[in-house]
Amino acid sequence: MVPVLGESVIMCPNTATTGAGQIKNGSVISQGVNTINRETSGDGLVCQENAGELTFLSKAGFNR
């Protein structure tokens, strides 16, 4: 399977995106995050917790 990458996706160093996942438009994948067979919400930051769960922060929260 090949992941689908949307437009304006930023992948920081040491990230892994493999499998049947979909990385939606405007996603910013933080350093060290693995999005294996996962889907992102788009237009925001993707972080990974210790247990491996992904956390999504919208871009609206960045403009404070």
Stated pTM of the model: 0.85
**24 has pLDDT over 90:** yes
Residue range(s) defining the domain that contains residue 46: 4-62
Domain count, the chain: 1
Give me the DSSP letters along 5-43.
E-TT-EE-TT-B--SS-EE-TTEEEPTT-B-TT-B--SS
Quote the CA–CA distance of 38 and 64 in Å, as a whole number: 29
**Residue pLDDT, tens place only, 34-58:** 999 999 999 999 999 888 899 999 8
**64 has pLDDT over 50:** no
Give the rounded percent of residues in the chain with a pLDDT score beyond 90.
78
Pair of tokens at residue 49: 């917790």
- Give mean pLDDT, residues 18-24: 95
Grade residue 63 by pLDDT with cuts at 50, 70 and 90: low
